[in-house]
Chains A and B, each alone.
Chain A
Amino acid sequence: MTRTLTLIVNGEPRTLQAAPFASLADTLREGLHLTGTKVGCDAGDCGACTVLLDGEQVCACLVPTAQAEGRAITTIEGAGPAGLVDRLRESFLAHGAAQCGICTPGMIMAAADVLARDPRAGRAEIEDGLGGVLCRCTGYVKIVEAVLDVARGANAFAAKADAGAAVGARLARVDGRPKVEGTDHFGADHQPEGALWLRLIRSPHASARFALGDLAPVLARHPGLARILTARDIPGENAFGIFPTIKDQPVLADGLVRMRGDPVAALVGTRAAVEGFPDADLPITWEVLPALHGAAAALAEGAPALHRAVPDNVLTRGRLERGDVAEGHAAGAATASVAFETAFVEHAYIEPEAGYARRVGDRIEVTACTQAPVMDQEEVARVLGVPMHAVRIVPTACGGGFGGKLDVSIQPILAVAAWVTGQPVRIVYSRIESMASTTKRHPASIRARMSADGDGRFTAFEMEGDFNTGAYASWGPTVANRVPVHAPGPYRVPHVRNRTRAVYTNDTPAGAFRGFGVPQATLAAETLIDDLAEGLGLDRWTIRRRNALDHGDTTASGQVLHASAGLPQCLDALRDDFLRAQADAEAFNRTSGRVKRGAGIACMWYGCGNTSMSNPSTMRIALRPDGTLTFFNGAVDIGQGSTTVLLQIAADALGLAPDAFESVVGDTDLTPDAGKTSASRQTFVSGNAARLAGEDLRRAILSLANAGPDARLRLEGACLHVENGPASRVIDLTTLSPDETGAVLSGEGRYDPPTTALDANGQGVPYATYGFAAQAAEVEVDTVLGTVRVTRIVAAHDVGRAVNPTLVEGQIHGGIAQGLGLALMEEFIPGRTENLHDYLIPTVGDMPEIVVHLIEDPEPEGPFGAKGVGEPALVATAPAILSAIRHATGARLTRVPVLPHRLHAALHAREAAE
């Protein structure tokens, strides 16, 4: 049922046909094609759809269109009150307050609401006003700064960089303007005309056999449906998975489901038909089987096998052994042990998976949000049974990934639907569907033991960890292999033995999530270090500093760190702060009753790039006869800023200013393979490829101009000036003959980080370089309620070289927010916390003050000395917070999240013990 309605949108009356109960968000997006208003949850939980209704911020997903009739609606596409929206846009851009950009329109509208009411709003008023919009990327730090600046009347100014001065500059992200204007197109923002819609019918059972009945009568009863696709409709192989040898996840389940949310059928048809189809109309009979929840159940004697090829449910075993751990413990003056438990953690990117596919002759094009276009291309090709070159992946703007969009989700089934119907097909996951069906951080059960001698020097570390990888392998093997290398932490430990298992269960699949298992392992190890400090009467900073890996040291995998090992500098940078915070807290606690303060500390290291595997990247720069300079960059920017950082590197390597370039990003038809946006590898690996591409083009230009290496380049239209003193000359690009791609001059760079395979004991060079960090946390604990407020975090990160300090800080702030969530509130429980009001991520009011120290111990192997920073910021946060809670209260916590009732129980157990 629709009716004719008139809405006043951004000052213009817009008359349209709409269902009165359709949400305003849906009407704006699908009816008026104003896609700047984003939908993140359809439940008022995330605020991404915030618009102004008669000047007041509302969630457009909670407003019936009928109630908006005749009222003034301001969206990000509009100008807003008193030029505020424009000023906020510029300020967001200059501050780096937009990362992925999916929350940006909602944030800007909420901020406009606050400032329209209170033009001189302070931090508290701004936080109150933005409290209803979730951001998963920024930790809100730069967002609040950007809004505060507008409140103070400051004029935003985004830095520009001259030729040769891009690396190290705080450039505004080059893809930022569409994000602040609401014109960036995310997966759900592509609305091809005449598209059919796709919806998956998913299993409510975690383990069951099923049989489908006759579908012909169902189709007849639902004339808007074009097809109901089942397993037998998959033209190629009905399987996908990250590893070439483990394609264990079906596109559509074939008679057996292994998790709640496994898709059993796909509806293709009009939007009304697929959305209006009750799942109960699908003729399906279920035989529900017992489900294995948690790794322990799957490892139990006699547990049924989830996958025939893996009878014991152990997908992968990881192992590292160095020295003799028994001897190491024997040499210790103190030994500590811990059993640590972590939960499933949801990525909670604000953009649920979305996109569309269309068939173009014998080729298929999939336009969707992703972190790994070429992997998507391989998976789609296999599922369709077509060669890879028949598949084009066009990445949309990606509204957050954090590892969760490293697996295919919608791509294969979209491709199948478009392939068999010949029509464009769209899909937009609901928030609940996204949370119920896509990968998570592995829950870990870790048992670890560590010893140190009388001086606090570590003598031995050992751990055994079981990682619940859920129903399908996803990135489970990577987690199982990365953890043993990193588990002892960034310390010298002569005797190490680490063993890990990734275990299949009937839970939601666990895959890649910022840190690949290292955050879980670090929680265990850093707890042990605090134990040892306590046991030996050493200060927590000192014991870490004494053991910190330094130049020339050997890691547990036997790798010698020749350069860029800046942990000592990181620790030195926060020493005074930490010791002051520790002393302040102790002084406060001497007289305080209920509220106790604490300071904590933790360190981390993180290998950049894939573990002991080739993971090359290729970048290309081309100059056309008209002087168009294009950077062909296959690295998907998921908000972290690779589009900007790689351009800064390429620009300086070539010797032209960044704004001389156009960028083509991610499209598999147009860009060479840069590999995945994962493993903190794009700045380091693709950065090297970008540097090499820039150098390659520069070489070609200089040789054509017969100029020396110090020549300066200047591009003016079709004239390329090569300035080299008396030997200067101008190349008229129109006179050069273009190659088959249309380029007259081009450069290409390929880089694959130098690593070696690990031997049976996990010995070798798994990564070319490592990021290092030390973080201190300060907390305030209400010991009666068991609540924790993190008041301050000091983060010192060795990033080699900060190519763009604003973006690096943004990564650290965002990583800290996610680390805080991991420590205190985030726990995904299949079937129970499948939305953003039961699954909690930090809001703007949960963030502490953050102080960042950027340590630049240059990596000779890195582009301009740079290393990756994407994951490291998360890793040290949770253990530092736990260390601080322990300092405040004495409670040694071995399970995250530390929900209030868990801390309360721990405090009571401690009281009882005393």
Chain B
Amino acid sequence: MRYFQPATLDEALAIRRGNDVVPLAGATDVYPARAGRRAWGDPTHKDVLDLSRIEALRGIEDRGDHVRIGALATWTDLIRADLPPLFDGMKRAAREVGGVQVQNRGTVVGNACTASPAGDGIPNLLALDAAFEIEGPSPRLVPAEAFFTGYRATACGPHDIVAAIRIPKREGRGHFVKLGARRYLVISIAMVAAALETDAAGRIVSARIAVGACSAAAGRLPLLEAALPGAPLTDAPALVEPRHLAHLTPIDDIRASAGYRMAAALALVGDALADLSRPAARVA
């Protein structure tokens, strides 16, 4: 097994083009997967492309109209970054990922690239209309909704590297709620991210809401998003209806039944909206 550790993105892209490598940033997903394979007699591992020495991928940066989260930015970087209230949900998610150890190592971009249905960062990226800076043979900016293409599948091609995520800066506040069977270190049963803008009168101007762990890839709730504008925020929880979630396709697994997931997601959407209507939720 080879281990590449280039210092520039160009070198990294060249390695990616010429080899079948797994890109690695915080490594928090790669090692558990390796442990799972090794335990049942598969010691093989793809060559590794370690991005950690590429300075250009570090940091969280305010670029005027958007915030850029570099591929090496960790959850802890996010928690410590000075960001507007729109990012409160993202920060809440950061605090719910693994334990502090994983928050210190795991990256926002890596979590997105693993694209687990239960990836804690993903609903926020959808709700915030994030876009993925993909470097590679055809550099491009891919909106989050197009980036997550299915179960553990993304638009990042075999010769591509996600260099950063861009989140447009807008008015409004973000929020995130996660449901698991224990307090820390828990894989979500269901989760909801919401980004809401309200006017001076407390009426909803725009709403973007996404649900995770209830379908092969996390997804937005367009029907609900269309139903909310114009309504007073305090009325929003009562406006949530099962039909707004009808397109989700939760599964039965060890953590929960499909029916429960649907019911829980419905409740969590209401909870997220209710939290947003209370000042306490402003403390991310």
Determine if A58 and B184 form an interchain contact, defined as CB atoms under 8 angstroms apart.
no
Residues from chain B with a CB closer than 8 A to the CB of A277 are 41, 43
22 CB < 8 A contacts A-B: A1-B1, A1-B3, A20-B48, A21-B45, A23-B31, A44-B98, A44-B101, A62-B28, A63-B105, A67-B50, A113-B100, A131-B185, A132-B101, A432-B36, A432-B40, A785-B264, A787-B181, A833-B254, A843-B182, A900-B181, A900-B256, A901-B256
Binary per-residue interface labels of chain A (40-72) against chain B in the complex, 1 for a CB within 8 Å, 0 otherwise: 011111010010010011110111101100000
CB nearest neighbor in B for A22 = B3
Interface string of A724-743 (1 = CB under 8 A from B): 00000000000000000000
- Given A44-B32, A900-B179, the answer on whether A62 and B27 have CB atoms closer than 8 Å is yes
| Residue of B99, B105, B264 with most chain A CB atoms under a 10 A cut-off | B99
Interface centre among B5, B40, B185 (most CB of A within 10 A): B185
Q: Which of A61, A132, A201, A785 makes the CB contact (< 8 A) with B184?
A: A132
| Closest chain A CB from B47 CB (angstroms) | 9
Would you call A669 an interface residue if the criterion is a C-beta within 8 Å of the partner chain's C-beta atoms? Answer: no
Give the docked Cα–Cα distance between A128 and B94 (Å).
Answer: 13
**B140 beta carbon closer than 8 Å to chain A:** no
0/1 interface trace, chain B 40-66, chain A, CB 8 Å (1 if under)? 111111001010100000000000000
A348 to B202, CA, bound (A): 50
Which residues of B sit under 8 angstroms from A44, Cβ to Cβ? 28, 31-32, 98, 101-102
Question: Counting CB contacts under 8 A, is A414 at the interface?
Answer: no
Q: Which residues in B have their C-beta under 8 angstroms from that of A131?
A: 99-100, 183-185
Query: Is the CB of A431 closer than 8 A to any CB of chain B?
Result: yes
On whether the beta carbons of A21 and B3 are closer than 8 Å, the reply is yes
A835 — which chain B residues lie within 8 A by C-beta?
32, 35-36
B76 at the A interface (CB under 8 A)? yes
Is B189 at the interface (CB under 8 A from chain A)? yes
CB-defined contacts of A133 to chain B, threshold 8 Å: 99
Chain B residue nearest in CB terms to A132: B99
State in angstroms the CA–CA spacing of A277 and B260 once bound together: 43
- Which residues of A are found within 8 Å of B31, using beta-carbon distances? 23, 42-44, 61-62
A842 interface residue (CB < 8 Å to B): yes
Q: Mark A744-778, 1 if CB is under 8 A from B, else 0.
A: 00000000000000000000000000000000000
Q: How far is the CB of B250 from chain A (nearest CB, A)?
A: 11
Residues of A within 8 A of B24 (CB): 64
Question: Could you tell me the distance between the alpha carbons of A784 and B179 in the complex, rounded to whole angstroms?
Answer: 12
A829 nearest CB neighbor, chain B only: B254
**Supplied contacts A58-B105, A840-B182, 14 more A-B pairs, CB within 8 Å:** A19-B3, A21-B1, A42-B31, A59-B28, A62-B31, A62-B32, A64-B3, A132-B185, A134-B185, A275-B43, A825-B182, A835-B32, A845-B184, A900-B179
Mark interface residues in B80-95 (1 if CB within 8 Å of A CB, else 0): 0000000000000001
Which residue of the partner chain B has the closest CB to A23? Answer: B31
Given known pairs A64-B24, A278-B41, A901-B256, the reply for A128 and B5 (CB within 8 Å) is no
Given the known A-B contacts A277-B43, A785-B267, A904-B260, are A57 and B189 also in contact in the complex, defined by CB atoms under 8 Å? no
Among B155-193, those with CB < 8 Å from A are 179, 181-187, 189
Q: Which residue of A lies closest to B252 (CB)?
A: A901
Query: CA separation between A277 and B43, bound complex, in Å?
Result: 7
Could you say which of B40, B187, B255 contacts A202, with CB atoms under 8 Å apart?
B40
**B7 at interface by CB-CB < 8 Å:** no
Q: Of A57, A66, A900, which contacts B104 at CB under 8 A?
A: A57
Interface residues of A in 318-349 (CB under 8 A from B): none
- A824 is an interface residue with CB less than 8 A from chain B: yes
Q: Which of A62, A204, A280, A846 has most B Cβ within 10 Å?
A: A62
Residue from A58, A131, A824 having most chain B Cβ neighbours under 10 A: A131
Tell which of A45, A134, A838 touches B254, judged by Cβ atoms closer than 8 Å.
A838
Contacts of A425-446 to chain B: CB distance below 8 A: 430-433, 436
Nearest neighbor of B40 in chain A, beta-carbon distance: A204
- Chain A residues closer than 8 Å to B32, beta-carbon distance: 42-45, 62, 835, 837
State which size class the interface on A falls in. Answer: 35 or more
Interface contact A67-B99, CB-CB below 8 Å: no
| Best-buried of A20, A44, A275 by chain B (most CB within 10 Å) | A44
Tell whether A455 is near chain B: CB-to-CB under 8 Å: no
Q: Provide the bound-state CA to CA distance between A45 and B182, in Å.
A: 13
Encode B91-116 as 1/0 by CB contact (under 8 A) with A.
00001001111101100000000000
Q: Would you list which residues of chain A between 1 and 43 have a CB under 8 Å from chain B? A: 1, 19-21, 23, 41-43
Which residues from 794 to 846 on chain A have a C-beta closer than 8 Å to any C-beta of chain B? 824-825, 827, 829, 832-835, 837-838, 840, 842-846
Closest chain B CB from A296 CB (angstroms): 21
A110-B183 Cα distance, complex, nearest whole Å: 17
Q: Which residue of A lies closest to B2 (CB)?
A: A1
**Is residue B263 contacting chain A, with contact meaning CB distance below 8 A?**
yes
In the complex, are the beta carbons of A47 and B101 less than 8 A apart? yes
For A202, what are the chain B residues with a Cβ–Cβ distance below 8 Å? 40-41
Q: How far is the CA of A350 from the CA of B260 in the complex (A)?
A: 32
Residue A511 lies at the interface, judged by CB distance under 8 Å to chain B: no
Interface residues in B, total, Cβ within 8 A: 52
Minimum CB–CB distance from B262 to chain A (whole Å) comes to 11
Known: A63-B27, A113-B100, A784-B267. A45 touches B43 (CB 8 A): no
CB distance from B189 to the nearest CB of A (A): 7
Q: Across the interface, which residues of B come within 8 angstroms of A843, CB to CB?
A: 182-185
A49 CB, min distance to chain B CBs, angstroms? 9
The answer to whether the Cβ of A704 comes within 8 Å of any Cβ in the partner chain is no
Q: Which residue of A lies closest to B260 (CB)?
A: A901
Contact of B100 with A899 in the complex, beta carbons under 8 Å: no
Check A865 for interface membership: any CB of B closer than 8 A.
no
> Among the interface residues A134, A278, A900, which one has the most CB atoms of the partner chain B within 10 A?
A900
A829 / chain B contacts, CB cutoff of 8 Å: 254
Q: A43-B35, A827-B254, A844-B184 are in contact. Are A57 and B100 (CB under 8 A)?
A: yes
Q: Are B44 and A278 in contact (CB under 8 A)?
A: yes
B28 in contact with A899 (CB, 8 Å): no
- Interface flags for B5-47 (1: CB within 8 Å of A; 0: not) read 1000000000000000000101110011001101111111100
Given that A432-B36, A433-B39, A827-B254 are known contacts, is A45 also in contact with B185, CB under 8 Å in the complex? yes
A41 contacts across to B, CB distance below 8 A:
35
Q: Please, which residues of chain A bring their CB within 8 A of the CB of B249? A: none
Given contacts A132-B184, A279-B40, A846-B182, contact A66 B105 (CB under 8 A): no
The one of A56, A57, A837 in contact with B187, judged by C-beta atoms closer than 8 angstroms, is: A837
**Whole-angstrom distance from the CB of B78 to the nearest CB of chain A?**
14
Q: Mark A248-278, 1 if CB is under 8 A from B, else 0.
A: 0000000000000000000000000001111
In the complex, what residues of B have CB within 8 A of residue A616's CB? none
Task: Decide if A700 is an interface residue (CB 8 Å cutoff).
Answer: no
Residues of B within 8 A of A57 (CB): 100-101, 104
> B254 near A842 (CB under 8 angstroms)?
no
In the complex, which residues of chain A have a beta carbon less than 8 angstroms from the beta carbon of B101?
44, 47, 50, 57-59, 62, 110, 132
- A21: chain B residues within 8 A (beta carbon): 1, 3, 45, 48
Q: Considering the chains assembled together, what is the distance between the CA atoms of A905 and B260 in angstroms? A: 8
A614-644 interface with B by 8 A CB criterion: none
Nearest A residue (CB) for B267: A784
Instruction: State the Cβ distance, B202 to closest chain A Cβ, in Å.
Output: 23
Q: Is the CB of B43 within 8 A of A899?
A: no
Q: How far is the CA of A825 from the CA of B36 in the complex (A)?
A: 22
Cα distance, A678 to B197, chains bound together (Å): 61
* Partner of A899 from B3, B181, B261 at Cβ < 8 Å: B181
Any B CB within 8 A of the CB of A129: yes
Min distance, Cβ B58 to any Cβ of chain A, angstroms: 13
Which residues of A sit under 8 angstroms from B38, Cβ to Cβ? 275, 430
Does residue A708 face the partner (Cβ distance < 8 Å to B)? no
Chain B residue nearest to A19 in the complex (CB): B3
Contacts of A128 in B (CB 8 A): 95, 100
In the complex, A786 has a CB within 8 A of chain B: yes
Nearest-CB distance from B237 to chain A (Å)?
Answer: 12
Interface string of A121-135 (1 = CB under 8 A from B): 000000011011110
Expressed in whole angstroms, the Cα–Cα distance for A244 and B53 within the complex equals 60
